[in-house]
C-alpha cells in the first residue's frame, strides 16, 4: 500500500495543476467510489485494531485536506473564468433586445412642476428648495403671522411634539430662506410639497404642492407682478387665456390679491363641468411683500420693494387635464397614472 502522506502530496499537486475539465476526474481518482483513499478506508477491516485506528485517521485526515483543496481550486477557477469572460466580452451597442418592463413616466403633478419651472426660468427666475419640516419662525413669525394671530387658523398643520417644528403649510418660508441667503436683486421660485391639517374632499387634500415666487429689487411695483403673471399664464396655457385679480388678504403681502384664470375648456362660455360654469378658476395668491417681512430678513424696506405669489400646482394640473378629484393624484392607481 502506498504511503498516505505520499498519496496526499501527489493529489494536492494534481489539484494544483488541474483545470476545470480535469478537476472532477482528480476528485473521482482519490475520493470516488473506487478512489485511492476510498479503497484504503474500505480495506481497514483486514488490519489490526491499532493499524485500523492509525491508518483510518490518517486517511480521513488526507481526505478532508484534499476536499478542502479541491474546493479552493474550484473557487479560484471560477474567479479566473469570470475575469477572463469580462476581459473578452464586448458590448454591442447596436444590438437590440427585448426589455420586459414598460417605461415609466413622471407623475402628472411633477410634470406640471417641471413645466411651471421651465416657464419661470425663461422669465429670468432661479429655482430654490426649502425643507418640508419647518420652524415656526419661517412658516409664520417671519411672514408677519405672530403667535396666536387668527390668520394661523387658516393654516392648521401637523406639529412635531415638544419642538417648535411643523410641516410647512405653504412654500412661503422659501421666501424668507431665499432673502436670508441673497441680497437684492432677487428673482426666485420655490416649488415643493406642503401640508395642512384638513379633511379631504374633491378639491382638498392634506398634502399638496405649491410653487412660490419672489422678486425683490428697487422700484418693483404691482404692475410688474401683473405683467409677470399674465406672461406666465400665456406661456403655459396659450396667449388667449385671460387672468383677473381679486382683492384679498395675506399677512405677508400688502396689497394682496387672488388670481383667477379663464377656463381653458369653455373659454368663459359657461355650462362647463370643470369651472362649474363660473368661467374662472382660482390659481394663486399674491401681493407686494409686506415691509415687516423685509424687516424680518434685515432688508431696507425704504429702499426695496418686491412681489410674491404662491401657485397651487394640483389645481393647475386638474385644470389642464380636466381632472375633477384631487385625491386621484395620491391613490397610485396605475389606470389613472398611465394616462399621462
Ligand atoms: N402662501 C399663501 C397660501 O398658501 C399664498 C401666497 C404666497 C400669497 C405668496 C401671497 C404671496 O395661501
Please say whether the beta carbons of 113 and 313 come within 8 A. yes
Q: Which residue has its alpha carbon closest to ligand 1 atom 4?
A: 170
Total of domains in the chain: 2
Q: Give the number of other Cβ atoms within 10 Å of residue 102's Cβ.
A: 7
- 33 domain residue, yes or no: yes
Domain end among 88, 120, 143: 88
Same domain, 148 and 50: no
315 vs 137: CA distance, rounded Å: 28
The three three-digit cell numbers of residue 160, written as one number: 412635531
pLDDT at 1: 56
Please say whether the beta carbons of 306 and 217 come within 8 A. yes
- 122 domain residue, yes or no: yes
Same domain, 34 and 119: no
Q: Give me the domain span that covers residue 19.
A: 4-88
Domain end among 88, 118, 138: 88
CATH number, domain of 279, equals 3.30.930.10
Tens-of-pLDDT digits for all 340 residues of the chain? 568 999 999 999 999 999 888 999 999 999 999 999 999 988 988 889 998 899 999 999 999 999 999 999 999 999 998 888 888 888 777 777 777 777 788 999 999 999 999 999 999 999 999 999 999 999 999 999 998 888 888 888 888 877 779 999 999 999 999 999 999 999 999 999 999 998 888 889 999 999 999 999 999 999 999 999 999 999 999 998 999 999 999 999 999 999 999 988 887 777 787 787 888 999 999 999 999 999 999 999 999 999 999 999 999 999 899 898 999 999 999 999 999 9
Name the packing angle between helices 49-88 and 23-31 (round to 10°): 170
pLDDT at 2: 67
pLDDT at 108: 96
Rounded alpha-carbon distances, angstroms, from residue 331 to 314, 325, 326, 336 = 14, 11, 10, 9
pLDDT at 264: 82
Same domain, 190 and 225: yes
203 vs 282: CA distance, rounded Å: 12
CA of 204 to the centre of ligand 1 (A): 16
* Sheet (strand 280-289) strand order: 126-127, 186-195, 207-217, 305-312, 280-289, 253-262, 243-250
Pocket test for ligand 1, best of 250, 286, 288, 314 (most atoms within 8 A of CB): 250
168 lines ligand 1 (CB under 6 A): no
CA of 160 to the centre of ligand 1 (A): 23
CA of 226 to the centre of ligand 1 (A): 15
CA of 308 to the centre of ligand 1 (A): 8
Residues 6+ apart with CB under 8 A from 28: 35
Helix residue ranges, H only, the chain: 4-17, 23-31, 36-42, 49-88, 108-122, 136-139, 173-181, 222-237, 291-296, 313-321, 334-337
Q: Give the number of other Cβ atoms within 10 Å of residue 56's Cβ.
A: 14
Please say whether the beta carbons of 262 and 279 come within 8 A. yes
Same domain, 78 and 133: no
- 146 domain residue, yes or no: yes
Amino acid at each position: 500500500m502506498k504511503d498516505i502522506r505520499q498519496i496526499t502530496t501527489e493529489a494536492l499537486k494534481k489539484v494544483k495543476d488541474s483545470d476545470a475539465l480535469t478537476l472532477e476526474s482528480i476528485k473521482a481518482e482519490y475520493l470516488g467510489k473506487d478512489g485511492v483513499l476510498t479503497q484504503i478506508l474500505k480495506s481497514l477491516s483486514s488490519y489490526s485494531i491499532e493499524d485500523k485506528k492509525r491508518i483510518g485517521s490518517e486517511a480521513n485526515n488526507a481526505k478532508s485536506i484534499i476536499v478542502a483543496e479541491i474546493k479552493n481550486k474550484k473557487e479560484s477557477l471560477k474567479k479566473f473564468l469570470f475575469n477572463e469572460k469580462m476581459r473578452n466580452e464586448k458590448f454591442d451597442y447596436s444590438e437590440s433586445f427585448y426589455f420586459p418592463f414598460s417605461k415609466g413616466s413622471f407623475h402628472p403633478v411633477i410634470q406640471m412642476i417641471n413645466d411651471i419651472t421651465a416657464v419661470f426660468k425663461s422669465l429670468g427666475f432661479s429655482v430654490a428648495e426649502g425643507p418640508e419640516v419647518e420652524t415656526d419662525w419661517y412658516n409664520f413669525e417671519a411672514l408677519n403671522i405672530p403667535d396666536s394671530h387668527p390668520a394661523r387658523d387658516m393654516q392648521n398643520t401637523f406639529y412635531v411634539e415638544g419642538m417648535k417644528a411643523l410641516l410647512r403649510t405653504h412654500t412661503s418660508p422659501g421666501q424668507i430662506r431665499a432673502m436670508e441667503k441673497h441680497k437684492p436683486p432677487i428673482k426666485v421660485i420655490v416649488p415643493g410639497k406642503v401640508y395642512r391639517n384638513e379633511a379631504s374632499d374633491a378639491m382638498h387634500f392634506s398634502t399638496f404642492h405649491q410653487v412660490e415666487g419672489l422678486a425683490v429689487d428697487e422700484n418693483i411695483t404691482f404692475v410688474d407682478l401683473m405683467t409677470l403673471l399674465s406672461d406666465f399664464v400665456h406661456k403655459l396655457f396659450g396667449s388667449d387665456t385671460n387672468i383677473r385679480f381679486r382683492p384679498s388678504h395675506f399677512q405677508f403681502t400688502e396689497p394682496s390679491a387672488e388670481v383667477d384664470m379663464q377656463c381653458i375648456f369653455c373659454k368663459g362660455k359657461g355650462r362647463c363641468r370643470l369651472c362649474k360654469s363660473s368661467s374662472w378658476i382660482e390659481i394663486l395668491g399674491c401681493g407686494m411683500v409686506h415691509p415687516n417681512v423685509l424687516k424680518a430678513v434685515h432688508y431696507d424696506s425704504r429702499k426695496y420693494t418686491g412681489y410674491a405669489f404662491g401657485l397651487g400646482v394640483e389645481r393647475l394640473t386638474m385644470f389642464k387635464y380636466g381632472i375633477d378629484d384631487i385625491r386621484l393624484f395620491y391613490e397610485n392607481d396605475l389606470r389613472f397614472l398611465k394616462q399621462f
